[in-house]
Amino acid sequence: MKKENKKVTNGRLYITATFNNTLINVTDNNGNTICWGTTGTAGFKGSRKSTPFAATTAAEKVIQKAKNYGLKEIEVYIKGPGPGRDAVLRVLRGADLKISLIADVTPIPHNGPRAKKRRRV
């Protein structure tokens, strides 16, 4: 039985940019993953995974895969402080995709971790 590729015109692109890696996930509007990729799957190892160039290469590969599924319009959700954030957005501008939304969903703590114990002298 041959697996049939489904056609999706609208979708969401999730970018998780950590200090060591950049993960890119393309889903449909229900949240079902269509395709994904990381800087590791793009062929980078070690400290080279954390470079903006590795993020652009990974993004190009994922966007090409997504276009094979018929993707035309995307919403972009960016999470994390890594160096791949801006690099992936630059690649998206050059791709022939209509970007309807760019949102930063980086989690920010409201009160942070527990404070250090007060010093006694």
Asked if residue 65 is part of any domain, the answer here is: yes
Number of domains observed in the structure of the chain: 1
Coil vs helix vs strand at 54: helix
Range of the domain at 100: 10-104
pLDDT of residue 111: 87
* Residue 75 placed within a domain: yes
> Which pLDDT does position 3 carry in this prediction?
58
Q: Are 77 and 45 in contact (CB under 8 A)?
A: no
Q: Is position 55 within any domain? A: yes
- Give a yes or no: residue 99 inside a domain: yes
Q: What is the pTM of this model?
A: 0.85
What pLDDT was estimated at residue 80? 93
70: left (phi over 0), alpha (psi -120 to 50) or beta: left
| pLDDT at residue 112, as a whole number | 86
Residue 96 included in any domain: yes
Note the pLDDT of residue 109.
87
Domain membership flag for residue 87:
yes
At 2 the pLDDT is 54
* CATH code, domain with 79: 3.30.420.80
Q: What is the pLDDT of residue 26?
A: 93
Does residue 117 form part of some domain? no
In a domain, 121, yes or no: no
Report which of 75, 88, 91, 76 is spatially closest to residue 17, judged by C-alpha positions: 88
Mean pLDDT, contiguous 10-residue spans, the chain (121 residues)? 72 93 92 92 91 93 90 92 90 89 91 90 85
